[in-house]
Each structure stands twice: as structure tokens, then as C-alpha cells.
């Protein structure tokens, strides 16, 4: 179990070169989102962007925020910031369009923090994520991809099941009744989700066991792995431990603690492998469940653009547990990119 505080690489000389740092964040228009829950989940990015802006100013540099609306490209080209902190999760309410932001910044040769175009495309598609894990022999639960209602047939694996949206981040679509015990319940839930969101869904075997949050952070010299076990205080359905959309409104619904030593090394190695094969960069969050029967760590989810901010975001909490403060996170990211406007070509 980790007890040593981690020190990130921070290029202080590079930070002095920054005249203007930009914070890009999702433009949230209610009419772009399929449900009130989806709208409210993304709305928080506006406040978080301002918090990041203030943290950058504390480093002694000018900073300005930019919503990813119809004027975003023009405003960035006019102001020409030295580096962009990319917090954009959705464009016009769609997760899969968020990869347009790093694509534009690469085209304009403007340095930015966070994941590149390829990793963003993979990270916003759970089916593609799981296919790549399977191919590279990284454990992930059995699943069934349902593109539309024509393929809404019973899963071929054993219960319990959990139904997830294929292209939506976090716990969107996962409510207090998300875990199902029968195929009939699953097929009904698939129909409900596709009716509300109009996108493909996944039916996945639900893994009972300890949940580990894995953070990979690349500071330019070292790829650090920060692990924490997520200890739940509540069971949304009274039976299973998981994060439902309703649990976000419950204070201290879960807390983080250090991972047991016997799991730490294996899970850390798998996180680094997944980070590489999924073409992620800078940082990413992985959700992992350890099967109580055989102690296999199963990768459930990934987020290459996980919430970055000084508040109670999972990445911030996990890194804080390991002795890393947000001021060092943002300083490391900014210093890493300001002197290297052209990223290596993505493969």
C-alpha cells in the first residue's frame, strides 16, 4: 500500500514562457441534451472551468476561459493562447463530438493538455474500448453491444447484469435500479434507454467485488499510476455497490482508501498497458472491479478526459490521497506542453 508522497515533474522555466493560458469547456445548452439529468451532469463544467482558471492565475499567469460554442474556433485563433487546458466533454450535447476540440487545436498547432483525438474517440465509445481490451488480453466483463432495438435480444452470459449507454460518460443512464437479475428486465431497460437517448447501449455482466479507481498521469518524464479503492457508504438498490446518477447528490456516498498490496502491482501494470493501447495522453481514469471469486481485476470503464479541477473530482481525490495537490497537477500539465506545440503523430 502506497505511503510515499509522489512528486510530479514541473518545468518552472517553461511556465515563465506562458503569456496567456486558455481554459476550454463545454458549452451547455439545455436543448442539446436528451434528458434533464444529462444537462445537469454537464452543467457543472462551467463552475469547474472557473475554478481551474483561478488556479492558473495563482501560478502568476494570465488566463481566460472559452466555451466550446460556435465562436470557439475564431476566438482561439484571434487570441492565440500559449496553451489550452481542454475540459470539453461534449459538443452540442454529444460526447462523441468532443474529439473535434483536440483535432482543431492540432490543426492550428496550438498546444493543449489532455487526450489527443484518437484517444478521445476511443474513450467516448465503450464498445470500442472493450474490443481493444479484449484483443490485448486486459480483463473486461462479458458484454453485449446493442446498436438498436433490432438487436435487443437476451444476453448469452449469466446475471447479474448492468445496462450502460455506449457513448455517455460517468453514470449517465445508470440509476438506482441499473443492476438487473433477469434477461427480461434487461431487455426492457435497453428499450427505455434507447427511447430516451437514441444511442446504442451495452449490457455487461455486473461484477461484485471491491472497486478500484486507477489514475494514470504522465508528467513528461514519468507515467505515474495512482490507485485507490472506492469504499461505498450506500447501496443504491439495497443489494449492490455501484455509483448511480442519484448518488451524486448524496454527500460522502463513497470515499477513497489505499489499495491492498496484493492487488496494487498487478492493477498498476494493467492501467499502464491500457493507457498505452487506448492511445491516451496526459491523464486518464479507469474504473476497475475485482471479482470476489477469483480476484481478477476487470476494467469496466475509462475516461481519457476525466474531470480536471481542484474540487472533489475522483482524479483530484485519488491523487491527493497520494500526496499530490491540484496546484502541482495543473503546473505540471501546463509546463509540459507550452514548449512543445506539435504533438507526436498519433498512431
In the structure, what pLDDT confidence band is assigned to residue 344 with cuts at 50, 70 and 90?
A: low
CA 295 to CA 135: how far, in whole Å?
A: 21
Mean pLDDT in residue range 175-201: 93
pLDDT one-digit tens code per residue, 240-262: 999 888 887 787 888 999 998 88
Render pLDDT for 208-245 as a digit per residue (tens, 0 to 9).
Answer: 999 999 999 999 999 999 999 999 988 989 899 998 88
CB within 8 Å of 242: residues ≥ 6 apart: 162, 174, 178, 179, 206, 211, 232, 236
pLDDT band at 164 (very low <50, low <70, confident <90, very high): very high
In total, the chain counts a number of residues equal to 347
Residue 226's pLDDT is what? 97
Predicted confidence band of residue 4 (pLDDT cuts 50, 70, 90): low
Query: Per-residue confidence at 32, pLDDT binned at 50, 70, 90?
Result: confident
Instruction: Please report the pLDDT score of residue 261 as a whole number.
Output: 86
Q: What is the pLDDT of residue 346?
A: 55
Would the pLDDT of 342 be above 60? no
Give pLDDT, residue 343. Answer: 52
pTM, entire model: 0.93
C-alpha span between 253 and 245 (Å, rounded): 11
User: HSE-up of 238 (CA within 13 Å, CB side)?
Assistant: 0
Domains, the chain, with CATH or none: 12-121 (3.40.50.20), 142-205 (3.30.1490.20), 211-329 (3.30.470.20)
Are 99 and 120 within 8 A, CB to CB?
yes
Please report which confidence band the pLDDT of residue 127 belongs to, taking 50, 70 and 90 as the band edges.
very high
170 to 66, 89, 286, 287, 301: CA distances (angstroms): 23, 11, 11, 10, 9
CA 125 to chain centre: 12
* DSSP structural state of residue 30: G
Q: What pLDDT, on a 0 to 100 scale, did the predictor assign at position 336?
A: 95
Sign of the alpha-carbon torsion through 84, 40, 199, 216: positive
Place of cell 475554478: 51
Which of 13-22, 52-61, 129-138, 334-343 is predicted with the least confidence, judged by mean pLDDT? 334-343
Res 135: pLDDT: 97
Query: Does position 65 have pLDDT exceeding 80, yes or no?
Result: yes
The CB density around residue 79, as the number of other CB atoms within 10 Å, is: 11
Overall average pLDDT of the 317-336 stretch: 97
Amino acid at each position: 500500500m502506497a505511503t510515499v508522497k509522489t512528486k510530479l515533474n514541473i518545468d518552472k522555466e517553461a511556465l515563465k514562457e506562458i503569456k496567456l493560458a486558455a481554459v476550454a469547456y463545454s458549452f451547455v445548452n439545455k436543448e442539446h441534451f436528451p434528458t434533464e439529468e444529462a444537462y445537469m451532469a454537464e452543467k457543472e463544467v462551467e463552475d469547474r472551468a472557473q475554478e481551474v482558471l483561478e488556479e492558473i492565475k495563482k501560478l502568476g499567469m494570465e488566463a481566460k476561459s472559452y466555451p466550446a460554442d460556435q465562436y470557439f474556433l475564431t476566438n482561439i485563433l484571434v487570441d492565440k493562447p500559449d496553451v489550452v487546458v481542454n475540459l470539453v466533454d461534449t459538443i452540442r450535447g454529444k460526447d462523441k463530438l468532443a474529439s473535434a476540440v483536440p483535432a482543431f487545436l492540432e490543426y492550428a498547432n496550438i498546444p493543449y493538455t489532455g487526450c489527443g483525438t484518437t484517444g478521445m474517440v476511443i474513450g467516448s465509445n465503450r464498445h470500442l474500448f472493450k474490443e481493444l481490451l479484449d484483443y490485448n488480453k486486459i480483463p473486461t466483463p462479458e458484454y453485449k453491444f446493442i446498436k438498436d432495438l433490432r438487436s435487443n435480444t437476451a444476453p448469452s452470459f449469466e446475471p447479474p447484469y448492468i445496462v450502460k449507454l455506449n457513448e455517455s460518460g460517468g453514470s449517465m443512464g445508470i440509476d438506482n435500479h441499473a443492476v438487473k437479475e433477469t434477461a427480461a428486465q434487461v431487455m426492457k431497460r435497453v428499450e427505455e434507454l434507447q427511447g430516451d437517448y437514441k444511442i446504442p447501449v451495452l449490457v455487461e455482466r455486473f461484477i461484485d467485488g471491491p472497486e478500484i479507481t486507477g489514475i494514470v498521469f504522465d508528467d513528461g518524464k514519468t507515467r505515474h499510476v495512482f490507485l485507490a479503492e472506492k469504499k461505498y457508504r450506500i447501496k443504491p438498490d439495497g443489494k449492490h455497490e455501484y455509483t448511480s446518477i442519484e448518488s451524486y447528490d448524496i454527500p460522502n456516498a463513497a470515499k477513497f482508501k489505499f489499495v491492498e498490496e496484493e492487488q496494487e502491482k498487478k492493477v498498476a501494470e494493467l492501467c499502464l498497458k491500457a493507457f498505452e493501447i487506448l492511445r491516451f495522453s496526459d491523464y486518464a481514469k479507469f474504473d476497475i472491479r475485482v471479482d470476489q471469486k477469483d480476484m481478477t481485476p476487470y476494467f469496466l470503464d475509462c475516461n481519457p478526459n476525466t474531470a480536471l479541477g481542484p474540487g472533489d473530482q475522483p482524479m483530484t481525490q485519488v491523487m491527493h490521497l497520494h500526496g499530490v495537490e491540484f496546484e502541482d497537477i495543473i503546473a505540471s500539465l501546463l509546463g509540459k506542453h507550452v514548449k512543445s506545440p506539435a504533438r507526436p503523430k498519433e498512431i
